Amino acid sequence: MSDLVAAALAPPSFARDLISLTKPRIISLLLVTTIAPMYVAGTPSWQLVLSVFVGGYLMAGGANAVNMYIDRDIDDRMARTRLRPIPSGRMRAELVFAFGVLCATTGTFLLAHVANVLTAALALGGFYTYVYVYTRWLKRSSPHNIVIGGAAGAFPPLVGWAAVTGRIDLMAVYLFVIVFYWTPPHFWALALNKQKDYTRAGIPMAPLIWGERETKRNMLWYTLILLPLSLLPVTFGALGLPYFVMASALGGYLLLGVIRVMRAADFTKPAWSVYKYSLLYLALLFAAMVVDRAVGRAGLGVAFAIHG
């Protein structure tokens, strides 16, 4: 839901504005890709899961608030962002910045204290990648902004994995890479339909610089790389047949959606469909990992019971 629609549905208040600064709808997906890897990595306690959930929300929410502070000069040029607290005049820019820093600082302390220092460092790495690499540097300077800067959104699986294991191993890296390659086709599907907004804001998104045809071609290439990458954990035994079946079905539907975007004379509806489905795809893909591990552990439990 855009900020414009959200604002129309509910009258503004200070508390609601503070929550909107964190972009809770966006964070919900980030938290799925944080918490799911915890159950893939092991059997975390509910206290650890809750702490990582809160700490992850604070870190991502703080990054989103600082992002709004940095983008305050262009948010009033785009229809979907002009009703945010700063451009609408409801909140001072300095307050938004302070709120973002406070959230990130609190989140860092919580993750370091309850989980471990590596977890906090990875979350902080995601914060700085989003704020400085993406927002400050690439967003306004390169059509590759979402490709490189999108790595910020791939940190959550590392955070969840490190919280349980205290280290980063091959499976954690694969989870990072999966989110990294998912990001461009997901975001470019939105960019295709928001070209007027990005033109007004002066943001060099891919459709404006490369053209629509080249952007759609790149969406296809990234999707074709993403799908086999999502299946690779099966090849070295990290995940099993249940995940393979679910990931194949989810990825196949995503690929069909991208192909429809490429072939459509009017890509508006197909692009919106890909954008919305890609959100569901990533959430269900990580849920499939948890289901696969749960099935595997149940199978081991039965085997031990029979042979015990």
* Domains in the chain: boundaries: 11-168, 170-308
Half-sphere exposure of 122 (CA within 13 A, CB side): 28
pLDDT, average across residues 131-137 = 91
Contact assessment for residue 82 and residue 19, using Cβ atoms and an 8 Å cutoff: no
- Model pLDDT, residue 209: 95
State how far the Cα of 228 lies from the Cα of 222, in Å rounded to an integer: 11
pLDDT classification of 45: cutoffs 50, 70, 90: very high
What is the model's pTM?
0.89
pLDDT, average across residues 6-12 = 51
pLDDT classification of 12: cutoffs 50, 70, 90: low
Contact assessment for residue 292 and residue 247, using Cβ atoms and an 8 Å cutoff: no
Task: Judge whether residue 111 has pLDDT over 60.
Answer: yes
- Model pLDDT, residue 14: 86
State how far the Cα of 247 lies from the Cα of 284, in Å rounded to an integer: 9
Backbone angles phi, psi at 114, to 5 degrees: -90, -40
What tokens does 144 get?
Answer: 């590759």
What tokens does 67 get?
Answer: 């992002």
- Model pLDDT, residue 307: 47
Higher pLDDT, 242 or 7: 242
- Model pLDDT, residue 31: 96
CATH of domain 11-168: 1.10.357.140
- Model pLDDT, residue 299: 53
Q: In this structure, which topology does domain 170-308 adopt according to CATH?
A: Four Helix Bundle (Hemerythrin (Met), subunit A) (1.20.120)
pLDDT digits (tens, 9 = 90+) for 152-172: 999 999 999 999 999 999 999
pLDDT classification of 266: cutoffs 50, 70, 90: very high
Helix boundaries (H) for the chain:
3-9, 14-21, 24-41, 46-70, 72-75, 93-114, 117-128, 145-148, 155-165, 170-193, 195-201, 206-209, 212-235, 241-263, 268-307
Backbone angles phi, psi at 58, to 5 degrees: -65, -40
